[in-house]
Chains A and B, each alone.
Chain A
Amino acid sequence: MELFLQTLINGLLMAGVYALVATGLALSLGVVGIVNFAHGEFLMVGAYLSYLLYAAQGVDPLLSLGLAFLAAFLVGALAYWGLIRPVLRAPELNQMLLTFGLSILLQNLALLLFGADTRVVAPPYQAATLAIGPFFLGAVPLGAFFLSLSLLLALYLFLTRAPLGLAMRAVAQNRLAPGLLGIEAERVYLLAFGLAAALAGVAGVMLSVMLYASPTVGFLFTLKSFAIVALAGLGNLRGVIPAALVLALAEALVSTYVPGGGGLVEAVFFLVLFLALVGRAWRWG
């Protein structure tokens, strides 16, 4: 029973970061209408930034969070301006090929620059744990969980209160009408795409401590985020948190209870994705 509860706690803590990354993906998909295969690479940028700052200057990852937010926002905005904007009206196949190409380019650029080794940022508090009764909570996963939740809350408030957030939702709902109301869609796209990248960048800093930085760390998160978004429904931001919870809990349960589950954990997201799609095809087909 204690093992079961500990498993649930581990899953719950991981769900926060999953929700953060998947929300960014859902934002670019819902607002800009782009399937961004390079979303995880923004995460990778954040993770390597955190590693480089820590290795070179000893900068605490907590400080890197803000820097990674800005850096990833910039990278995302640049990617939108230079690459996405020209293909906004192109066939969907071309759009997907473009973001896939960006993903391949950034992954292998990181491979050339940093090699295939995994790099871990290990500040003094990395291994700190809180013992609550019989359960152990890692300080870093707990912090990452609450930070993710507060960022998502801030995003929610931004989208429901701020004029710019409302403009973003308007553009997501209708491509034409917001223009008549004086909203410049292209600026909103730029902001949404940058914001999506920034969320991933922050998640990357957290993962550089919790997991590691490597050229392929982002790619796996792209796939997991797609599974979460497919489960939640396209463009459905509110559904992302419960969907992230489903995936994280399923992974935690597999890693605890399936014998030799260590490697199979990385297949769980596919099961979630496949079942979500079967459900969708069966309902609409």
Chain B
Amino acid sequence: MRGAVLFLLVFALLPFLPLGVWRAYLLDAGVFMLLYTALALSWDLVARTGQLSLAHGAFFGLGAYGVGLLVPHVGTLPALVLGSLLAGCFALLLGSVTLRLHGLYFAIASLAFSEVLRTLALKLPFTGGPIGLAVPPAFGGGVPLAPYYLAFAVLAVAVGLSLWAERGPFRLAQAACRQSEPVARVLGVRVVRVKLLSLLLGSLVAGLAGGVYAMKALFINPYEAFSLGRAVEALVIPIFGGLYTTLGPLLGGVVLVGLEQVLRLWIQEGYLVVYGAILILVILFLPRGLLGLLGRRRG
């Protein structure tokens, strides 16, 4: 809790610090760090019920495309909300079918879902096809730091939701779903509802992050918006930092997104090799992530 607030405070103060020549670069990279960390937290929110979501890249892409298509008509903030709701609707549809079944079905269906959305974005008449979609900047470009503050707001929402889910009966319900569904049922937890609500909240945050991303990148295409890499990033960050916590994804996000900025200079294509390796090594040797290394006991 205190750690999470400290993280937010640092990000909130970043634009006001005397950073000299680094300021422009840090604020630019900071937007992506904030967004990917928010995406990671939204993934963890779903993972806390024991469900493996491989569709977070798709929710991110849905938010991006929703905003890209709506901003010229309704303005920045309503477009963000609507883009996020679009992601939420698809999540409900996906979840209501698969979350009643064994966990592996949700994992598989969510992976297939994200692959199919890319195919559809390439083929549908209003998405701009493989060429992509130009997105106007937030608030007509009048506020230079608007993407940074919007991204910060998204992370703040994600942290708020995560802290809320970490306390009280909801945390226990999520933990019960994760550890044993039959037992959770006997204890009176409405398993499907808890899982569905977690997925809905996770997808709403992911959609918000995607929307801000679109207004920062100013151009989206199906390969970028619905890339598998985004879904991988969304899950590697919390696993690396520490699953089922708020601080873990924040820590993992800062380290890994920072690392990615460096690695991208070396290897353009195929930098996901590193994420694959991290995923395997952490699962095998460090299942509690960086936080486990630091000796904290939580969740």
Contacts and interface: CB of A to CB of B under 8 A. Distances in A.
Interface of A: 35, 37, 83, 86-87, 90-94, 96-98, 100-109, 111-112, 116, 220, 223, 226-227, 230, 234, 260, 263-264, 266-267, 269-270, 273-274, 277-278, 280-281, 284-285
Query: Contact residue range for chain B?
Result: 35 or more
Interface of B: 47, 50-52, 54, 97-98, 100-105, 107-109, 111-113, 115-116, 119-120, 122-123, 178, 228, 232, 235, 239, 267, 269-273, 275-280, 283-284, 287
A163 B273 CA distance: 41
Given A93-B50, A108-B276, A273-B109, 14 more contacts: A98-B283, A101-B277, A101-B283, A105-B277, A106-B276, A112-B267, A223-B112, A226-B111, A230-B105, A270-B112, A270-B115, A277-B101, A280-B101, A285-B100
22 contacts: A83-B280, A86-B284, A87-B283, A92-B104, A93-B47, A93-B50, A94-B287, A97-B52, A101-B279, A104-B232, A104-B272, A104-B279, A108-B272, A116-B269, A220-B115, A226-B111, A266-B116, A266-B119, A270-B112, A277-B101, A278-B97, A281-B97
B254 to A, nearest CB: 21
Given A104-B232, A108-B272, A267-B119, A35 B54 contact: no
A264 B119 contact: yes
B279 A97 contact: yes
A265 to B, nearest CB: 9
Contacts of B284: 83, 86-87, 98
SS class, residues of chain B in contact with chain A: helix
Given A94-B283, A281-B101, A273 B273 contact: no
Contacts of B112: 223, 226-227, 269-270, 273
Contact of B109 (A87, A109, A112, A274): A274
A112 B273 contact: yes
Contact of B50 (A92, A112, A116, A266): A92
Contacts, number: 129
Contact of B115 (A92, A96, A106, A223): A223
A251 B11 CA distance: 50
A264 B123 contact: yes
Nearest to B285: A86
A86 B284 CA distance: 7
Most buried by A among B47, B54, B101, B116: B116
A260 B97 contact: no
Contacts of B275: 101, 104
Contacts of A112: 267, 269-270, 273
Contact of A35 (B100, B107, B269, B270): B107
A273 B119 contact: no
B279 A108 contact: no
Contact of B280 (A35, A91, A98, A267): A98
Nearest to A110: B270
Contacts of A234: 102
A274 B103 CA distance: 15
A223 B111 CA distance: 8
A104 B276 contact: yes
Per CB-CB distance, the 10 closest pairs between chain A and chain B, nearest first, are A105-B276, A101-B279, A104-B276, A270-B116, A112-B270, A111-B270, A108-B273, A108-B270, A101-B280, A108-B272
Nearest to B122: A263
A70 to B, nearest CB: 24
A263 B130 CA distance: 12
Contact of A102 (B119, B271, B276): B276
A116 B114 CA distance: 20
B52 A101 contact: no
Contacts of A97: 52, 235, 239, 279, 283
Given A87-B283, A104-B275, A223-B112, A96 B107 contact: yes
Contacts of B267: 112
Given A97-B235, A112-B267, A91 B100 contact: no
Contacts of B102: 234
Contacts of B50: 91-93
Contacts of B54: 100
A66 B219 CA distance: 48
